[in-house]
Structure 1
Amino acid sequence: MRNPAVALAFLAALGYGFYNAIGHMQSDKPVAIPEASPGASPTAPRPIKENVVAYYTGDKAMQNAKTKGHSTLPRFHALIKAGTPGTYTVKFPLTQNGATEHIWMQLVGFSDGHFVGLLADEPVNGNQYKMGDRMTVAEADVEDWMIRDGGEVYGGYTVRQAFADMPKEQAEKYGITFRD
C-alpha cells in the first residue's frame, strides 16, 4: 500500500553514470512504497531498489539535509567558478503521475538562475521522463548539490544523511569521502 506521506530520495547519481540504471520502469504509475520492516517505525526509510530509498516527508534529518544543501548553493557556485574538477550535479523534486521523487541531474550549464542538465537516473514514478533527458531547474527548486571526483564528494548533504541511515558496512562499500 502506498503511503502518501513518503517521498523518494535518491542516492543514485553520485555523478552521472556512477550506477547503471537498474532496469527502466515502464509503468506510468508511481512506485509502490513497501511496508515498514517488522519492528521498524512506520516512518523509517525504506529501500525501493539499490539506489533508491523512500523517506517519510516529515523526516527531520532528511529535511535538514535538504535545507543545508540549498543554503550552501553559494559554495557550489564558488567551487564551479574555481574550476573544481569533477562531475557537477543538483537534486530537485520531480513530479509525475501525482507523486514526487527527488532526483539528481548532471549539469551542462547555468544561466539566469536556472541549472540545465541531464537526468542522472531513471525516475521511478512513471515514464514521462527518462535518464539522460535534458531538464531546466530553477535554483530556487534545488535541494542539494554535489561535485564528485572519484571517491571525493563536495556537498551531497542528502546522500550523507542516506548513508547515515544505512548499515555502516553498506555505506562503506561506496568508498566516498565527503568534503565541504
Structure 2
Amino acid sequence: MSEEKLIPVFIPALVAILVNLEDKKGSPLSYEEVIDIRDNASVIMMEKSRADALAESRGYDDIDPENCWYDWQICRRDMDRKPDLDPGARITMTNSNDASMQQAFADARQSLSQFRKLIHSNTDEGFFPLIKTKFVLDDGNMFVWLRVVETSDTRFIAELFEVPAELRDYEIGDTFDVEDAAIMDWMINHDGAMHGG
C-alpha cells in the first residue's frame, strides 16, 4: 500500500465552481460567500502524484483551500473579471526549521529599518504595510500576514485583516504586539501592487 501523502482535491475544481456561482450571481462573490462555497464543496483525498496528474489533464492548478480568497482574486484578475478586488496576502504552513526559510527570515529582519522608512514616508489611503509572523498551532506552524497599524523602533502593532479557517479562535481586527525578532517577512500592498515579500 502506498504511503504517499494524501491531499484534498475538489471535484469539480473549486475555481470552476466559483466561476459558475459568480456568473449566476452577476456580481463578485464576497469573502464570506467564497469561504462558504469552499467549505461546502465536494472533496476527495488523493495521492499527490495523482492530484498532480489530474491538474495536468485539466490544464490548470486549482485554488489552494488554505488561500481560497487570495487565489480566487488572482484567478479573477487573470480572467480580467471586474471589479478587481484586493486579494490580501497568502498564508503559508511550512517547516520553519528549514535552512533556506531561516535565511529568508533573517534577511527580512535585517531590512526592517527600510520597511519602517517606507511606512513613515507614505500616508496614501491605498498603502497597506504588512508583516508575516508565526502562529503556533496543534498541527504545525502557520505563517500569517498582519496589517501594520502602529510601529516603534523595536516592534509593530498589527491586526488580522482576514481569518483563515485554522485560526477559528480569532476575529478580523484582532491586534498583536509583534517584536522584530518574531517577524518572518514584510511587504507593502500599494493599491494592489505588492512590494517586498
Which TM-score band applies after superposition, normalised by the shorter structure? Answer: 0.5 to 0.7
1:38 counterpart = 2:49: yes
Equivalent residue number for residue 121 of structure 2 = 82
Instruction: State how 1:2-151 maps to structure 2 within 5 Å.
Output: 20=31, 22-23=34-35, 37-38=48-49, 47-49=64-66, 50=68, 51=70, 52-57=91-96, 61-83=100-122, 85=124, 86-97=127-138, 99-111=140-152, 113-151=154-192
Deviation sequence 1:48-83 (CA, Å, 0-9, x none): 433455444455554443333222211101212222
* Bigger CA radius of gyration: 2
Matched positions, count: 126
**3-state SS, counterpart of residue 105 of structure 2:** helix
Contact 2:116-2:151 at 8 Å conserved across structures: no
Distance in 2, Cα, partners of 1:35 & 1:54: 19
**3-state SS, counterpart of residue 186 of structure 2:** strand
Distance in 2, Cα, partners of 1:71 & 1:124: 31
Between the two structures, name the one with larger relative contact order (CA 8 Å, sep ≥ 6). 1
Give TM-score scaled by structure 1 length: 0.55
**Structure 1 residue identity aligned to 2:119:** I
**3-state SS, counterpart of residue 151 of structure 2:** strand
Give TM-score scaled by structure 2 length: 0.51
Structure 1 residues 47 and 72: alpha-carbon distance in aligned structure 2, compared to 1, 3 A threshold: same
Structure 1 residues 53 and 142: alpha-carbon distance in aligned structure 2, compared to 1, 3 A threshold: closer
**Structure 2 residue identity aligned to 1:82:** S
User: For structure 2, which runs of at least 5 residues remain unmatched after alignment?
Assistant: 6-29, 37-44, 53-62, 71-90
User: For structure 1, which runs of at least 5 residues remain unmatched after alignment?
Assistant: 4-18, 25-33, 41-45, 157-180
